[in-house]
Structure 1
Amino acid sequence: MDKDVLTAWIVLIIAWFVILCIFMTIGSLAKKRGRSFWGWTLFPFLIPLGIDLFLLQIQGTPLIAVFLPFLVTYVIGLISVLLSGKTREKRMQEIYEEEQWRKSMRD
């Protein structure tokens, strides 16, 4: 393997890792709503990753074409998790905690 190609792959893997860390914000928002952290993190991350692996096989692929799918799926994933709301279990847990707090304030 050529040294330049190896360097390019290392930079690309580091960039994917940084992007995965950014996508974890979607997972943390999902966890606050009682949803799966890793499901909401990996699903929007793996779709453009598959697209990237396909695009990297094509010679002369512009750099914007490699990173644009991540931006699109990040925005879609972020909007989706914000619109999905809390699970029933999460709402019931919050109601229970509020009632416990009110009871402790009365006593």
Structure 2
Amino acid sequence: MPSTNDTTDDQEPDDLEFVTTFDPDSEPASEAVVTAVAAVRGSKPTALEPLHAVVDPDALDSLVGHADRVGTAGSHQVWFTYEGFDVAVRTDGKIRLRDATVTAD
């Protein structure tokens, strides 16, 4: 339960960021992004605009797949805006969603 005198309870940016993971070996990154955004929005993936309207899904999948095969290159990250979220997809299987309407200080 949040304390009544803790000012950190009022920090909105924490409420506007969502992080999830996917297995790059078994799920294409493009599908994982659509699934994550739909889950945060509380809608079905088919109700969202097509991902290809903002990023090439094949290129995204290829980037993640190639980095996963190389393995020793570290992780890479791609950012794009989709359905009101700034989306970061890392090649190690991490997806970060931030509210695109909020500006950082």
Give the number of the structure whose alpha-carbon radius of gyration is greater.
1
* Structure with the higher fraction of residues in helix conformation: 1
Please, what TM-score do these two structures have when normalized by structure 1? Answer: 0.31
Please, what TM-score do these two structures have when normalized by structure 2? Answer: 0.31
* Structure with the higher fraction of residues in strand conformation: 2
